Chain A
Amino acid sequence: MLLRPTRGRTAGTFPAALSTTRLCLLAAACTTTVGAPEVALALDLPPVPVSYRIEAELHPDTRGLEGKEEIRWRNETGESIAALPMHLYLNGFAHQETTWMRESAPRRPGESELLARNPDPWGYMEPVTITQRVGNEEREVSWRPIQPDDGNPFDRSLGEITLAQPAAPGEVVVLNVTFTGRLPEPMARTGGGRGYFLVGQWYPKIGVIEPAGVRHAPAARRAARQFHGPTEFYADFADYDVTFATPPGWMVGATGRLAPPAAGMAPRTDGLVTARYTQRAVIDFALVASQHLVDRWERHSPAGGGPTVDIRYMVPAGTEHQIPRWHQSIAGALDVLGSRVGPYPYDVLTVVMPPFWAGATGGMEYPTFITGGSGDRLVDNPLLSQVRLGEVVNIHEFGHQYFHGLLASNEQEEAFLDEGFNSYWEGEITRALYGDAASLGYVLGRRVEGAELGALRLGSAAETIHEPMRKRPTWLFEDGTWSLQAYPRSAVTFATAAALFGQERVDRVFAEYFRRFVFKHPDTEDFLKVAAEVGGAEFEAFCREAFGKDHLPDYAVTDADVTRFKVPLGRIITAEGPLVVTRENRAQHAGVGLPEEAREEDGQVLVEILDPGWVSGSEERTGTIQRVKMKPEQLAPFPDHRGHRADDGHFTSEVTITGPGWATLPVEVLLRFADGAVVHDTWDGRARWRRYRVLRGAPLVDARVDPAHKIQVDAAPQNNALAVDADEGFARDWGFWLGAVAEWIAGGASLWL
């Protein structure tokens, strides 16, 4: 399909919050950031190596699935292939000892709760027969479960089909599989019951064998892995033609578009109703079947070009009035990603808002089909109506159409390439749509800012992060850290890059990354290569370090002190000769021992900078103490600070800052003085600490490192500035309030005990 290079005008359903100005900015961003292509990219959906033709039926009473599929797999590995990996994801939900159940234990309902919800919550998938077409003959082939990742003998989420006849390079293998299975009670991503089923990861699916060169594979290699708890999927692009049968009265929505029944397909005689959906060049196929959802269609022409997209919203009955909110978020995501990364190449999208009880099937991405947050009256409650959680989930899941729906990285190996990149774009989209100040809305009148919350989440667990973000595989990150590594760390890394190198450069890198790798399988090095070529060497160096460091950076002002200058005691050489200063005569010799530079007659501030030096691998720098004259910026003075007045003597101000020891994270340092003088310095941040000492006629008010908060990957932004004196109003307000809280609790306890 050739994509129409449409741009700008939205048909009928333009989102109210997207101002014309903002759209102009988006369009401008598109033309300036994509650079080389003058018009939106026109993408043909490419030929793909796999196709599935599936006929299946759902038995709601038993959660049962039965079906058959014809799989055509073209051998693009350049080698003869005798066996194919096959995913049986539903077996991850078969019992408590599957690899998925073991690894996801901290995040899924516990045993008691699971069984209380449903005494038989389990799901499974079993191939009944598998045959390989050889000539005109259907030869039966064998399969067996394999566990290449952990050897767990109870895990059957991955199988291996031994072909009846090996596939030569370029040859197309045709497999016919009949299967039976069962959807689980909703635990994560799939499942259902009671009139609603999210049918995901539901059919036997051929695993990836990467040809040499893909993701820098030195030779053809299997990339299919078992179903793991922390991470999701990796798949070949494929064409899908799925006919799905349900009892009458069930609404079906799925990946792709509804199509007429396949030619030659006999009408069903068992009373079931069929729906046929087709979609080219996608990495998976999912559907929803429900008795309780209603649907509405919207249409949107993305600002960045590409086809006009028909968007189908499927929501629980009674929540249709929420659809404008969801549509605003989806249309905005289409606009921002379309104009700054690349055009969405499909012309359809289905957005499912699951009922609250099946919320575990929400927040999931499938190609041209996503599930958002729960469609529920909760969203309308005055306490929560101003929070944009539903919108953010929608934006995030739609972002996955790009990362890894189109840029199909291996999520199990390098989850940050999709979850992390997508989290960054989630932040960009929410800011573009809802503004910087409160991108996630308000709770009890308090702003909720997505980037700050993400950074807080990351920073609060910074001490637990001891591994590089790019480490493989993602599912083997240290306990409790994989989601931090995969989601917010990458997001704040790119936010930092945008602040350091410019938003335009980051956008240009992503646009080129998309152009080169859409419908391909990139890895970290692929991205870094684009970063180097389009973003420049320093951009690439920053990304490489940020992806590869085993800890988060933290700049901090740890100490900021002021002492009044006193004439030093002892024998001092003056212009008039030696002078012995004692406690008794000290007052008579004001100004003795004060360096000339401290008077600042040339308008410059003398700053003593202690750099302790550092060693990093083969690089090193010897520590120094330098006295540097700096031209201060002059702002309004702080007349009441520490009772300071002009001609009130001199003060020694000392500031100690600490840093991460990174090589690519220079930072601005700012010292503010009571007379309004502001001294700016730049620190390369390579040593672990640095000290400033200033002797001048005004005391220090505060010291700040990274005052513009460019380094959003900083684990603790709250320690980036330190005032010499506490803000008394703040201390009283919060101190007395905390005291009152203690009184309240103590008083209540004494009353009731």
Chain B
Amino acid sequence: MNAHFRPVLDGLRPPAGALRLALLRLVMVVLASSPALVTALLGLDAGAARRPYFTEVPGRLPVARLLQLARDLPDGYAAALAVSVVLAVLGDQLLTGGAVALLGPRPPKERRVLAVVWKRGLTHLWPFLRAVAVGVILTAVGAGLIGALFRRLDVMGYRAGWSGEARALYLPLASVGLTVLWMAAVGALVFWCRLITAADGRRRVRRTLLLALRVFVRHPLRSSGLFVSSTVISTLLPGAVLAAWRQAEPVRGGALGLLLGGWCAALCLQAVVWIWLVRSGWLLYLHEGLADLRATADAPFGVLTWLRGLPGKLVSPRRAR
């Protein structure tokens, strides 16, 4: 059992530079989301925080005022949030390239983590971005299918006379849960695709995705299982902190400091988990049972070439003449 999970457990033993990498990821997330943070702080300072309608409510904001506050969110917050997401995703591509290099069996001689991240990240950025695009498509398709499935289930429930509790509460919750799991599963695929790309210096995303899937088939728990479970937990935990923060409303002074501390701890946990995933993924990929995958050539499928030649094949030589 221990030997079976050795890569997973060894991944917890951080090599040199891992702590700095985790810190870098933490800083990256904070910096990437700073446009939204700044927009929120400035916008509230000029808007809702000057309105006694919101500020003079003792205790938690009533539901109507909470909804009104959501409507009165600072202009540009949503746009800044979108920018934050794009920046974070881009930053993560660079970080992953650097992390795979730094946490791998042959770390570069360069000691400066930032320099490695920048150099190796840029090296793999283009295939990484294509992997992200595949991830976005898979996530959207999966979420759409899950939505359609639960709509059908709801209709089934309607016809079978299921209770309102089942249809209006448990089905939506199950739908959200399944969507989260699907997003995490797609995340595992994209993550492994990037890991293999950077580990082997590959460029062919579609073939690499298939290699990742083969890793999943051979070591489901140590690859996708570990990724899905750890990322879901490390994502839900900060979510719980956010929910607790709002339930503790109004948060002032020491309580605010405490919650911010809890929030930072949750972000740190997320960064550490990410390091663990990269490291254990590397160790698993080096497993001798995956040697054939590592040896697979990074050759294109030739689909585009075949498609380009298709018109010529469809037109007979005689007609062409």
Q: Residues of A with Cβ closer than 8 Å to B?
A: 113, 116-118, 194, 355-357, 359, 374, 376-378, 381, 383-384, 438, 443-449, 452-453, 455-456, 459-460, 560, 702, 704, 717-753
Assess whether B49 is in contact with A747, with CB atoms less than 8 Å apart: no
B90 to A: closest C-beta gap in Å: 9
> Is B37 touching A456 in the complex (CB atoms < 8 A)?
no
B214 at the interface (CB under 8 A from A): no
Listed residue (B37, B46, B51, B168) with the most chain A CB atoms within 10 angstroms of its CB: B51
A733's closest neighbor in chain B, by CB?
B251
CB distance A742 to B49 under 8 Å?
Answer: no
What is the CA–CA distance of A630 and B295 in the complex, to the nearest angstrom? 90
> How far, in whole Å, are A750 and B81 apart by their CA atoms in the complex?
13
Q: Which residue among B35, B91, B159, B163 has the maximum number of chain A CB atoms within 10 Å of its CB? A: B163
Q: List the B side residues contacting A747 at CB < 8 Å.
A: 29, 33, 88, 235, 238, 267, 270
| Other-chain contact of A744, B163, B242, B247 (Cβ < 8 Å) | B242
Task: Give the 8 A-B CB pairs with smallest separation, nearest first.
Answer: A739-B37, A752-B187, A742-B36, A356-B164, A746-B88, A376-B164, A452-B64, A750-B92
Residues of B near A118 (CB, < 8 A) are: 159
Q: Chain A interface secondary structure, helix, strand, loop or mixed?
A: helix
Residue in contact with B63 in the complex, picked from A446, A719, A720, CB distance below 8 Å? A446
Q: Give the residue name and chain of the B residue nearest to A751 (CB).
A: B231
Pairwise interchain contact B62-A743, C-beta atoms closer than 8 A: no
B65 in contact (CB, < 8 A): yes
Residue contacts A-B, CB under 8 angstroms, 26 given: A117-B159, A194-B159, A357-B167, A446-B62, A446-B63, A456-B68, A702-B52, A704-B52, A723-B52, A726-B46, A727-B55, A729-B256, A730-B54, A732-B41, A733-B249, A734-B40, A734-B44, A743-B37, A746-B32, A747-B235, A750-B29, A751-B187, A751-B231, A751-B234, A751-B270, A751-B274
Q: Judge whether B238 and A444 touch: CB under 8 Å.
A: no
With a cutoff of 8 Å between Cβ atoms, the chain A residues found around residue B60 in the complex are: 445-447
A750 surroundings in chain B (CB, below 8 A): 29, 32, 85, 88-89, 91-92
Decide yes or no: A741 and B242 within 8 Å by CB, A449-B64, A735-B41, A752-B190 being known contacts. Answer: yes
- One of B14-22, B72-80, B103-111, B300-308 contacting the partner: B72-80
Tell me whether A739 and B52 are in contact (CB under 8 A): no
A377 to B81 Cα, complex, angstroms? 39
Q: Give the docked Cα–Cα distance between A674 and B64 (Å).
A: 31
Contacts of B69 in A (CB 8 A): 734
Q: Which residue of B lies closest to A460 (CB)?
A: B71
A357-B40 in contact (CB<8A): no
Asked if residues A740 and B41 are in contact (CB atoms below 8 Å), the reply is: no
Does B289 belong to the interface (CB within 8 Å)?
no
- B48 to A734, Cβ gap below 8 A? yes
Q: Establish whether residues A733 and B169, one from each chain, have CB atoms under 8 Å apart when the complex forms.
A: no
Q: Cβ of B267: which chain A residues have Cβ within 8 Å of it?
A: 743, 747
Residues of A within 8 A of B135 (CB): 752-753
The residues of B that contact A731 with a CB separation of less than 8 Å are: 41, 44-45, 49
Contact in complex: A357, B29 (CB < 8 Å):
no
- Report how far A188 CA is from B77 CA in the complex, Å: 39
Instruction: Out of A702, A734, A744, name the residue touching B238 (CB < 8 Å).
Output: A744
Number of interface residues of B (CB under 8 A): 88
* B252 and A725 contacting across the interface, CB-CB below 8 Å: no
- Closest A residue, CB atoms, query B81: A742
Q: Is the CB of B37 within 8 A of A742?
A: yes
In the complex, which residues of chain A have a beta carbon less than 8 angstroms from the beta carbon of B246? Answer: 737
Total CB contacts across the A-B interface at under 8 A? 238
Contacts of A357 in B (CB 8 A): 157-159, 161-162, 167
Contact of B169 among A378, A448, A453, A729 (CB under 8 A): A378
Q: Does B186 contact A (CB under 8 A)?
A: yes
Q: Is the CB of A377 within 8 A of B231?
A: no
A727 near B77: Cβ-Cβ < 8 Å: no
| B223 interface contact, C-beta 8 A | no
Cα–Cα distance between A445 and B59 once the two chains are bound (Å):
10
Chain B residues within 8 Å of A381, by CB:
165, 169
In the assembled complex, the CB of A60 is this many whole angstroms from the nearest CB of chain B, namely 14
What's the Cα separation between A383 and B252 when bound, in Å? 27
B149 at the interface (CB under 8 A from A): no
- CB of A725 within 8 A of CB of B50, answer yes
- CB neighbours (8 Å) of A449 from chain B are 62-64
* Pair A355/B37 contact, Cβ less than 8 Å: no
Q: Are B81 and A727 in contact (CB under 8 A)?
A: no
Complex: A725 Cα to B67 Cα, angstroms: 23
In the assembled complex, how far is the CB of residue A193 from the closest CB belonging to chain B, in whole angstroms? 9
CB contacts (< 8 Å) of B50 on chain A: these are 560, 722-727
The CA of A733 and the CA of B162, in the complex, are separated in Å by 42
Task: Write the B245-260 contact mask toward A (1 if CB under 8 angstroms, else 0).
Answer: 1110111110010001
Chain B's closest residue to A735 (CB) is B41
* Residue with the highest number of chain B CB atoms closer than 10 Å, among A374, A444, A449, A746: A746
Residues in B neighbouring A727, C-beta threshold 8 A = 49-50, 55
Kindly list chain B residues whose C-beta atoms are within 8 Å of the C-beta of A702: 52
Residues of A within 8 A of B55 (CB): 723, 727, 730
A752 in contact with B163 (CB, 8 Å): no
Q: Is B118 an interface residue (CB 8 A)?
A: no
Contacts of A743 in B (CB 8 A): 29-30, 33, 37, 84, 238, 263, 267
Q: Which residues of A contact B183 (CB under 8 A)?
A: 752
B195 smallest CB distance to A (angstroms): 14
Q: Which single residue of chain B is at the shortest CB-CB distance from A452?
A: B64
Is the CB–CB distance between B186 and A752 below 8 Å? yes
**Is there a chain A Cβ closer than 8 Å to B178's Cβ?**
no
B64 / chain A contacts, CB cutoff of 8 Å: 448-449, 452-453, 455-456
Residues of A contacting B270 in the complex (Cβ-Cβ under 8 angstroms):
747, 751
